[in-house]
Amino acid sequence: MKPVAPLAIPFREVRHSRPDDCLHYESIDVRGRLHQWHIPAHRHEGLHQLQLVERGAALATIDGVQHELRAPAALLIAPGTVHGFVFEPACAGHQLTLPSALLQSALGGVPEFAARLASGFLLGGEQIGADMSEGVELFVQLAREFELARPGRVEALQAQAVLLALWFLRHAGEPRADEHRQALRDTLVQRYRSLLELHYRQHRPVSFYAGALQVTADHLSRACRSVAGRSALELMHERMHVEARRLLAYTEAPVAEIALELGFDDPGYFSRFFARLAGQSPSAYRAEVASGRGVRPGTAG
């Protein structure tokens, strides 16, 4: 069948001002005022979030556990972590959301960094010490680049994001032995998810990803079950299902075109695949979303 051009879908995990942004920056007070200083619990797949509280305080709920963030404080949130915030109205600081694949590519080869990236962490005043001004300046430089449209903007933003992540990681210290073991599994699953982003439309077998990651297919599936509670194949199907829901919810493309975009040569097979995971047909799901009764995917910020 004749391939179709990829459908343009706005990036919905965070409120991007430009659909093609490689990452997203905003100050805490912008996000706070937008949501009346209360960010409901949500999660991001394939994204890391870096947050620096420069003034005031916030109550953070991370995977069901509450933490008080009082300036100076910093927070790195790993992909898949359920997180929410209640900010004081006077709270000020910075927040960066960026693709995990960028950090894994730049820093994942350093074991202690890979461990910390996989699990996330909190930094208090004792850990930040006199280096708060350096962290703030790194955010300010990134924010300035984010607002401008100069040549090389994407490359500059990516480089500055890596420097900022390094500032966080250098202050986090060495992970505990149990954290390191869990982080190795987390890192493998994150690397698998990153590869899925590149190839899931091609319907590659699990053995393809396992080979690329230099592990067996059984080992990869065990790691996925340990970290995500689902097998490698189930995560692959889940990723295709999420994209199908996005395309159905945010575009008017026919179901047959969406099927082709997702690598299904047979629209009927795609409809059966979708119905098996969603409990309803693609058309029924789209109708529910259009009527306001269905939930659009990826709208949490």
CA proximity to 215, closest of 239, 249, 187: 187
Q: Where in the chain is the domain with CATH 2.60.120.280?
A: 24-100+112-174
CA proximity to 117, closest of 174, 61, 64, 76: 76
Q: Where in the chain is the domain with CATH 1.10.10.60?
A: 176-295
Provide the whole-model pTM: 0.58
Residue 267 has pLDDT above 80, yes or no: yes
**Looking at residues 98-122, what average pLDDT do you find?**
84
Confidence of residue 9 (pLDDT cuts 50, 70, 90): very low
Residue 248 has pLDDT above 50, yes or no: yes
Instruction: Name the DSSP class of 41.
Output: E
Q: What residue type is 73 in one-letter code?
A: A
Q: Where are the alpha helices (DSSP H) in 45-124?
A: 100-107, 111-119
For strand 73-77 and strand 24-27, is the pairing parallel, antiparallel, or unpaired?
A: unpaired
Is residue 100 within 8 A of residue 113, CB to CB? The reply is no
Cα radius of gyration (the chain): 20
Q: Where are the alpha helices (DSSP H) in 229-281?
A: 232-250, 255-261, 267-278
Structure tokens at 214: 């230099």
Domain 176-295 CATH class label: mainly alpha
Structure confidence at residue 79 (pLDDT): 82
**For residues 251 and 297, which has the higher predicted lDDT (pLDDT)?**
251
CA distance 158 to 264: 34
Q: Which CATH number fits domain 24-100+112-174: 3.30.200.20, 2.60.120.280, 3.40.50.2020, 3.60.10.10?
A: 2.60.120.280
Structure confidence at residue 200 (pLDDT): 92
Is residue 13 within 8 A of residue 47, CB to CB? The reply is yes
Structure tokens at 238: 């889940």
What's the mean per-residue pLDDT of the chain? 84
For residue range 134-176, what is the model confidence (pLDDT) as tens digits?
999 999 999 999 999 899 999 999 999 999 999 999 998 765 5
